[in-house]
Amino acid sequence: MMTSALQPYSYDLISFVLSVLILLAYNLFLGYKTRKNPAYTVQAVNVIARTAWVETIMQESGKEILAVQTLRNSTMAATFLASTAVLLIIGVLTLSGQGDKLEGTWHALNIMGAKHADLWLTKLLLILLDLFVAFFSFAMAIRVFNHVGYLINVPLARNFRMICPAHVAVHLNRAGRFYSIGMRSYFTVVPLVFWLFGPHFMLLSTVVLVVVLYRLDRAPKLPDVDYTTP
């Protein structure tokens, strides 16, 4: 009974599962490569850079303004992306009430997938869930960036045990992880949106997305430059 009920959605389910497995395999691959080489990805290099930056700011006097300006830029970027997520959520909610009017247009290229209204709403629900993850991730990044703004300017001479460069760096890297999760959620919206046009488009866009993400995530290799030559 259950098999026959899911039969009309077989192509969509297969494409969705394959897309999830492709993204999961890609992230596991990145985790494996990062464990072997801590500087393999841009995110891993940023963790090292943020840790060194915190140590420099807290140990050298006269850089308080630099710290505030840098954290301000990060907070503004996260605020903009969180606001954009809210606008996209409103857009998806508006779209959910117009499915009957746009059904012919959205399914014009859907040659294999199901065209049922319940599947349409499920697709929109997944897009909404993804955008909510992006919003909350950027909101948490803003929250932690604000905490770091206070922690990083506490003089080391006060000898607070929990306010040291290593501890502040943990907070800053946590904000960076929230920011990265938000960006990943934005990228994941792409195959979900293409799913509205058909399952084959979702699978194809997932493969293209992984290729693009690899080029973005991979830390650039250092050029072979001979600095001894004048």
The first and second tokens of residue 38, run together, are 């801590």
Measured distance CA(38)–CA(116) in Å, rounded: 47
pLDDT the model gives residue 3: 56
Helix residue spans in the chain (DSSP H) = 2-6, 10-36, 42-59, 64-96, 99-106, 117-151, 165-195, 199-217
pLDDT the model gives residue 153: 83
pLDDT the model gives residue 38: 85
pTM of this structure = 0.85
Please name the residue that has the structure tokens 């209204």.
117
pLDDT along the chain (230 residues), means of 10: 57 88 94 88 90 87 83 94 94 76 58 64 90 96 92 79 84 94 94 87 93 90 51
Please name the residue that has the structure tokens 């050298």.
60
pLDDT the model gives residue 65: 83
pLDDT the model gives residue 229: 47
Q: What are phi and psi of 41, to 5 degrees?
A: -110, 160
The vertex-217 CA angle with 140 and 211, nearest 5°, equals: 120
The answer to whether residues 182 and 79 touch, using CB atoms and an 8 Å cutoff, is: no
pLDDT the model gives residue 111: 62
pLDDT the model gives residue 114: 55
pLDDT the model gives residue 228: 46
